Structure 1
Amino acid sequence: MASFLYSPAVDMIAAAGRIVLSPLLSGPMLVTITYYPDAVRHIIASAVKVLPEQVMAPILSLPQPLVATALRVLTVLSLVRAVNGALNTMASNSWRLTAAKGWDWPNEIAVVTGGSSGIGKGIVERLVALGVRVAVLDIQGLPKEFQGNARIRFFHCDVTSAESVAAAADAVRSEFGHPSILVNNAGIARPMPILKTPEEYLRKIFGVNVMSLWFTTQQFLPRMVQLNKGHVVTVASIASFVALATAADYSATKAGALAFHESLASEIKHQYKAPNVLTSVIHPNFVKTPLLDGFSGRLERAGVRMLTSDRIADEVVVQIKSRRGGQLVIPSSATGISGIRGWPTWLQELLRDAVAKGAVKP
């Protein structure tokens, strides 16, 4: 069951489902078989000449009324799925279906925390390729490939310190300008059992993964609200939904990141009346980065397929380019896991058991 978290087979099934449940496929097919049966028979007759008999025989044996009924069901399900998707998009964007206006990428400034490595580095690369100027807030220096790039500016910052974030934010505004994009990406992880987690590390992981969200947002959101334009992206995790053995601290911080995103979105809409300030939360599955060294091997042996940081960066920047807010589970085939709290308890426990077998050292 651990492989359910990310499996190429599940991805393929999900992709096939998206095709089958497309009203652009089932709708025209239903119209054709209902109003142009002669054309359908002609197509089938042509296919018989090309495809093997063992392939066509089951198709030819199906009664036309049964096929029409199946297509009606598929069309209804497709339309329900399309309407649900549209409502999801609208709900995440102040009940607006269209993309936010007023964005001009070469004139936009982004702040990316933890932008010197991993997922953050990939996000910076892709934003710069889009023409965006990027301020990297990190305790690590810029990688060599970023040095000398006029569109990238580095600001040393300890995101666990409100004072350090404030100083970096002042420098960003002074040297670069007011950011319209904030990507809260910085995060740490060090798998260990609850009974062996030292207080010093516990305070550090909550500082980096949760408290920093307040510090950066308090610095950069006011200008976005003033202009009624901006995008705050919170990088959370699949652990927002699934508590992991030997990672209670990480799971708790990512559940906190999701709560932060949801409250922020509500406050922007209702308290600050800034419907064009967008919010997105990203829930990647396990990503093969230095953060999971010593842990990824155990997960892979349990059947969990690791994602790459490049894939996450791609989807984050696609979300920013869409000029829409929302919630992304990566890969999308694992979206159903976001509803784990509504699953029967026994099914939740089976999933946690399967993941724990890979997380806990034998």
Structure 2
Amino acid sequence: MASVLSSPVVDTIVSAARLVLSPLFTGPILLSLTYRPDTVRHVLGIVAEHLPQWAAASLSSLPHPPAITVLRVLVALGLLRTANRALNTMAHNSWRLTAAPGWDWPNEIAVVTGGSSGIGKGIVERLAALGVRVAVLDIQDLPKDLQGNARVRFFRCDVTSSESVAAAADAVRRELGHASILVNNAGIARTAPILQADEAFLRRILGVNLMSMWFTTQQFVPHMVQRGKGHVVTLASIASFVALATAADYSATKAGALAFHEALASELKHQHKAPHVLTTVVHPNFVRTPLVQSFEGRLQRAGVRMLTSDRVADEVVAQIKSRRGGQLVIPSSATGLSGIRGWPTWLQEFVRDRVASGAVKP
């Protein structure tokens, strides 16, 4: 993936934009310029004494009408942005602004697929630290540092098999109880051009990254609906929005994961009348995990700044702790990519070209 998706320059611009669009920043300045102009001039005069002549001359003309007009526009845009964020939060939570009631972490049970390594392991560690009892569903053995954790139980499970998932779910219910949190995290990846993809891996990646979500959801969500409480977290990717050259299979599964999340949220609200069963979808950029070891060097040469699994796990568990559903793009500076399908075609193609140019280099 090219650096267009992860750049220090982009991060800096986004941070600056957030600052100037914060009413908490621009509002007091506007009020001071409007109602206390003499005080502002006095302060600026003191500052000007310690600046070069050209800078002092610029300050001496403040405050002036154009500056006040610009600040009014920024405050208005900031208030609209704040209202938009509140509406987004409400939309993800059945038009409820408050957190969902009834959560008590020591009495909650979480199921995390692919919890033996990478992002999943980080999520397991943080949930257990919160007091949640965690069931790890994986084909890999539980790492030694988790084996002694009394709040973590391992259930060997091939998530591509509905029979294996059903057996593991029965064991979880028998040994721990009914899950109130489901984290669909399991995933695999491998780079290969479309013309060189083999059928066995295509079926495997579709099973692990996508079909498994149906199997786990069918096992654990019915009781959440019955109780009227739960949280389903779907691990997708930035590739949900921008298809990656030499990783069409991975991109397709992550776009499918986003579609799964959106459909599940709608069904929970309208078909099952369960507005307190929360849903969250997570779109991280590339993360330094065993998943990308085979092509990490290529990503680094393309200028990609790799995320850590701890960074992603922190944000996922913080979202669970908030008792709200939502959509997380990590890093948040890449949030604008979620709207790429609405961009002009030439701009979409520019981004895809930049991504592809980095992906196909050996």
TM-score (norm 1): 0.96
Cα deviation for residue 119 of structure 1 reads 0.5
SS at match of 2:192: coil
| 1:37-56 alignment, distance < 5 Å | 37-49=37-49, 55-56=55-56
Q: CA deviation at 1:196?
A: 1.3
Distance 1:67 1:343 in 2: 32
Identity rate, percent: 75
Residues in 2 aligned to 1:21 and 1:322: alpha-carbon distance in whole angstroms: 24
For residues 136-180 of structure 1, what are the alpha-carbon distances to aligned partners after superposition, in whole Å with 9 as ceiling and x for unaligned?
Answer: 000001101001211000000000000100110111111111111
Higher mean C-alpha displacement, 172-181 vs 23-32: 23-32
Counterpart for residue 118 of structure 2: 118
Q: Does 1:83 align with 2:91?
A: no
Distance 2:142 2:62 in 1: 63
For the aligned residues, what is the CA RMSD?
1.5
Match of 2:287, SS? coil
Matches within 5 A, 1:202-213: 202-213=202-213
* C-alpha separation in 1, matches of 2:188 and 2:51: 55
Alpha-carbon contact 2:112-2:136 (below 8 Å) kept: yes
Q: Deviation string for 1:69-114 (max 9, x for gaps)?
A: 1110111100110011111111100001111111111111111100
Moved more, 46-55 or 327-336: 46-55
Structure 1: 5+ residue stretches without partners: none
Question: Is 1:100 the counterpart of 2:107 in the alignment?
Answer: no
Counterparts of 1:1-362 in structure 2, within 5 Å, are 2-49=2-49, 55-362=55-362
Q: Is the 8 A contact 1:299 1:355 kept in 2?
A: no
Counterpart AA for 2:30: L
Aligned partners of 1:103, 1:188: CA distance in 2, in Å?
Answer: 32
Which amino acid counterpart does residue 100 of structure 1 have in structure 2? A
Cα 1:47/1:214, change in 2 over 3 Å: same
Question: Cα distance, 1:45 vs. partner?
Answer: 2.7
1:17-66 C-alpha deviation (Å, 9 max, x unpaired): 11211111212221221112122123223333455655544333345211
Retained in 1: the 8 A contact 2:33–2:63?
Answer: no
1:192 CA drift (Å): 0.5
What amino acid is aligned across from residue 335 of structure 2 in structure 1?
Answer: T
Pair 130,32 (structure 1): closer, same or farther in 2 beyond 3 Å: same
Task: Return the letter of the residue paired with 1:119.
Answer: I
Contact 2:288 2:308 in 1 (8 A): yes
Q: Which amino acid in the other structure matches residue 209 of structure 1?
A: N
CA deviation after TM superposition for structure 1 residue 314, in Å: 0.9
Distance 2:57 2:106 in 1: 58
Give the secondary-structure state (helix, strand or coil) at the position aligned to 2:328.
strand
What SS does the aligned partner of 1:294 have?
A: helix
* CA distance in 2: counterparts of 1:22 and 1:42, whole angstroms: 25
Q: Which runs of 4+ in 1 moved over 6 A?
A: none
Aligned partner letter, 1:326 = G
- Alpha-carbon displacement from aligned partner over 1:269-299 (angstroms, at most 9, x marks no partner): 0001111110000000111222112312112
The 3 A distance-change label for structure 1 pair 290 and 38 is: same
Amino acid at match of 1:322: S
Give the conservation status (yes or no) of the 8 Å contact 2:210–2:253. Answer: yes
For 2:328, give the aligned amino acid: L
Structure 1, 21-30 or 157-166: larger mean CA deviation: 21-30
Q: Distance in 2 between matches of 1:124 and 1:242?
A: 29
Residues 54/113 of structure 1: CA separation in 2 closer, same or farther (3 Å cut): farther
Which structure 2 segments of 5+ residues have no match? none
**Partner AA of 1:355 in structure 2:** V
Q: Per the alignment, in what secondary structure is the counterpart of residue 99 of structure 2?
A: coil
Equivalent pairs counted in the alignment come to: 362
More off after superposition, 55-64 vs 329-338: 55-64
What amino acid is the match of 2:77? L
Structure 1 pair 38–196 and aligned structure 2 pair: CA distance change class (3 A): same
Equivalent residue letter for 2:137: L
Quote the Cα distance in structure 1 between the aligned partners of 2:97 and 2:169. 33
Q: Distance in 2 between matches of 1:343 and 1:103?
A: 40
**Range that drifts further, 36-45 or 56-65:** 56-65
- The 8 Å contact of residues 41 and 63 in structure 2, kept in 1 or not, is answered as no
Q: How far apart, CA to CA, are the structure 1 residues paired with 2:196 and 2:358?
A: 19
